[in-house]
Structure 1
């Protein structure tokens, strides 16, 4: 249960567009073990969802170039045929998409959609598949599952649709679950229920989870490890405690400073990261992509691309990483408070 289950090495995702090439992911590497949750965080457009779709083999090959390596339990996924990937999707790896209303078909009942996945991967008959769908709906906390299985997605609330999406993803007991912003547009009570559900299922089945989010509070309370992305690259990674209590990259520190604290002085002003992420169209300029927004930038940052350096799973891509004394208690904000409150 401690061996690497998913390995991503030097992943590159390049799109061909009418306006030119877009390098959406560049040189991304990480590993994930069974029973662990890796949170991938960053602003919109940083490459989080693009990475997850590359792992599942869901990019259009006619307009996408994939490089590097993605292995699932030792099996190479990049370059694998569609038949191979289709056999793995749903059975060994699955995804909870960001918007359940658009991910679920409006033409079929929720029960039919869950049952279809089970039939396709196991060869079960209709009766067995329907029973499995009802079982999963009950397991994810939907009341009266036999009756609700006959309803259509629009008849479910936002939280219930998200639970139904999780049921769809888990119907074949996948070993890898990717949850892309699973709590988007949900109120905080439903968010907590959904995240608790993922945690319960992970403990029950030993599932490896990739949690894609921009919410550092969610990361603090629900992940073991964190990977911070900026402009398609990893800028920092390590255990959640290390990354949130002692960020080494100015971007990570900036993300934390823009989150309200849960305890302490409520009058402390938020300090959002200034500026906007760079355009990935046509490639990035030399040096560090974060340089125009960084308060710690120096001449070297505009000349040399910083590489990930570190040891023991703790890495940062910065020529002048923040040191421990710069991360004072006054800089410790909401996510760290939540990290402590979950222990």
Structure 2
């Protein structure tokens, strides 16, 4: 495992970070989730990412239980706030001071820790003044409940304004958590250059494009039983944008490239995002411990420019690069 600094800070995190979206508390049993966390620790992963909304708070509880006997100082635990939790009442969502303050306390209780290393705004809240949100984050940092602040799926302009306010209020906004993969490169035109300028790193989710870049989905064939594309709890909605024959035919061309690199297609996909110098970590999940062991083999892999060009040539025009997608897919108001 290799470790990278997160943004313009002294915090180092494992470049493969374990995330438990769509798994803990929903897809897999708790004992299997604990085995996956154990596999991550054994592989040198020290950074764990979750959110209060995952499985409506159950994912945080499962992760807290799995990590409770580990040395806290050796871990970096990340969580997030924005999406609805609990019964979904009028103040159970968004980035108001009320919701943030209540949410951090709930997250710490479920995670069985006194603080999180990184507390992230899971989306931008169009219904709360940004000044209110950032003041609440500043207070949480001063209270010692979070060490650093990050955001997820914010536009370049939103990140710039967030960083400005964080500096005025005396805390560090050091990370952005966007979707990023060989197939989904919408952060490259605007978000990445802005973050490089401001000292903000990317912690990217879905580097394997919801499993599409493993090669398991075949053109002209139904999705394999038990795959993300058949999961109606949420995974199917995210993966369907990639399940077009033209995309899948292009993805098949990555197989020989992965073979030449001595990697599986999944490892190639994770290694690819880590070639971007603004990426501090790739988030990987798992429903089986052996998946963790396989994914971590992408750590430390260097892909030369010729191989990177072969990947670009193979995927061609199926790659999504439109910077406007971040704003287009963002919630236009709080989701109840």
- TM-score of the alignment, normalized to the shorter chain, above 0.5: no
Q: Which has the higher strand share?
A: 1
TM-score normalised by L of structure 2: 0.38
Structure showing greater radius of gyration is 1
User: More helix by proportion, 1 or 2?
Assistant: 2
Q: Give the TM-score normalised by structure 1.
A: 0.38
